[in-house]
Amino acid sequence: MNVVLIGGTIEALLLAHHLQSEHHVIIIELEAELGLPVMHPGRVVNRELLNAYMTDEQQNFLLLSENEQGWGCRWDWVLKHLAANISRKGVQCFTRTRILSCSKENEEYILELSSTERHLPTHLTADRVIVMSPPQTFGPGRRQHCLEPSQPEQFPGNDGVAWKGATVLTEDAKEAPSTDLHLNRGDGMTELWWKEEMTWEPPRGFFESTSVVLPTNPDELSFDGVVSRVLDFVADSV
């Protein structure tokens, strides 16, 4: 089948990894790069799980740092390696691309596209279209995909709550109050993730900060949790 995944999320990259051996897969992303902005903890609980998706060299590049709550790393590096690997296997990634309409004729989807990349097509046909991004996802200029008149299926999401995340120097993080997730990374930075209000300010400030809706249970906020959700979806789709 021709399968189109809308949104370059980590779920999309992992799903493409599992589908590409039997199907032709295209990922469509509004942003210039897949997985940006980063809005998920950089966390791996069982690092052996990475063996199915990355080379040893790529895993070494992640600079995994062991913590009580798992291995800390830069989440954007995880996504870049996954994207590179599925591209080598034939998955196409259309970045800077917006869907203008989604219609269906004789069980086949027809997507009209607008892209700043001149070499990309203006129309696609697909046997299956899956929306991977959360609802109300915006790209540059607050633009969104238009998925009418034939709304495709949505990858199942978890009921979530508002999380706040921030990156600080690991040295400064030693003075941080208790948070739901405290992940030292191998690059000298530490990620803090919490659900309640926190008034603490690091001596040298937060280097990055975000607010995002994620699964309530911290145990699900990991590479392992995402893989589990994707494998469940693949099993249910067979």
- 16-36 pLDDT tens trace: 999 999 999 999 999 888 867
- Kindly state whether residues 111 and 214 are assigned to the same domain: no
Segment 126-150 shows an average pLDDT of 83
> Could you tell me the CATH number of the domain that includes residue 53?
3.50.50.60
- Kindly state whether residues 27 and 136 are assigned to the same domain: yes
Side-chain-side CA neighbours of residue 219 (13 Å):
1
CB 209 within 8 A of CB 69: no
- Kindly state whether residues 104 and 57 are assigned to the same domain: yes
Number of domains in the chain: 2
24 membership: H or E segment, kind and range: strand 24-28
Q: How far apart are CA 14 and CA 229, in angstroms?
A: 10
- Kindly state whether residues 132 and 194 are assigned to the same domain: no
Q: How far apart are CA 190 and CA 167, in angstroms?
A: 6
Q: How far apart are CA 30 and CA 35, in angstroms?
A: 10
Alpha helices, H only, the chain: 10-19, 56-61, 75-88, 170-173, 223-237
Overall pTM surpassing 0.85 (yes/no): yes
pLDDT in tens, 158-178: 678 999 999 999 999 999 999
Question: pLDDT band at residue 136, thresholds of 50, 70 and 90?
Answer: low
Can you give the residue range of the structural domain that contains 47?
Answer: 2-157+222-237
- Kindly state whether residues 175 and 196 are assigned to the same domain: yes
Q: What CA dihedral angle connects 112, 115, 119 and 121, to 10 degrees?
A: 0
Question: pLDDT band at residue 237, thresholds of 50, 70 and 90?
Answer: confident
